[in-house]
Amino acid sequence: MLFYIVKTLFWLALPPSGPFLIILSGYIFTKSRFKKTGHILMISGFVTFYLFSISLVGDLLCIPLEKEHPPYQDSARDVDGIVVLTAGLQDLSHLGLGTKPGGASILRLNHGIEIYRNLKGVPIIICGGNGDPANPHLSEGRALWHAAISLGVPEKDLILEDKSKTTYEGVYKVKALMGKDRRRIILVTSAMHMPRSVDFYRQGGFYVIPAPTHYITQKIKINAASLMPSLGGLSLSSTAISEYLLRMYYYFKS
């Protein structure tokens, strides 16, 4: 229950919900004797919403996270596993297609398989249950496991962990599956997600070689387009703020 409460609070804090709540609270204040405070809140909410909706701000927030770990250079050989973290799924049961991995999950898997084929014999550990409160019965890991098999990875070279709800929880599930003497891993996840994931796995006693993928930022260019509000800019800002908030949360939690 605590997990779902924390998840909901994070969703409410992120754009667009966060700025919308600021605007709403400001409107409520304007109906009271605190009208000036209400107007300040409403203006602040609209300004915040605009800033978080432009790609320039989104890129500025995301780039430090994506640059924290450099791209994988194919230099590792003595490793015990390639850990691929899941990133959501699509429920297509209404079309008779069951569940399919989300786009970010597929990009992570493709990168993991590319590394796997170069190393030969090193298993892929797919890690991720389901942290979506709206669909707690669906398994991200199982969907990605099936995708890996369809892409030619033998079942004997796959290890599935699909009970964890968070990246942090997945560390200790993977640790139990691999055993105490197998702690050298190549970690595959989105570049944005990599800093927090590396921290968790190192805290869990793993020797981690980062292999980031799914870069979502571009070289910053200041022009009219970069200052126009867009869904893409809002998505960039929301993703980055989520990572910063989660890093703060686990920092204080530990």
pLDDT tens digits for range 128-147: 988 676 677 789 999 999 99
Average pLDDT score over residue span 11-30: 94
The pLDDT assigned to 155 comes to 97
Domains and CATH numbers, the chain: 2-66+227-253 (no CATH), 81-213 (3.40.50.620)
Q: Rounded to the nearest 10 degrees, how much is the dihedral formed by the CA atoms of 167, 171, 177, 178?
A: 130
pLDDT tens digits for range 23-73: 999 999 999 999 999 999 999 999 999 999 999 999 999 999 999 999 998
Cβ contact 162:131 at 8 Å: no
Cβ contact 106:160 at 8 Å: no
The pLDDT assigned to 205 comes to 95
**Distance in angstroms (rounded) separating the CA atoms of residues 250 and 254:** 6
pLDDT tens digits for range 161-210: 999 999 999 999 999 999 888 899 999 999 999 999 999 999 999 999 99
Average pLDDT, the chain: 92
Q: What is the DSSP string of 59-93?
A: HHHHHHHHTSSPPP-S---S-SEEEEE---EEE-G
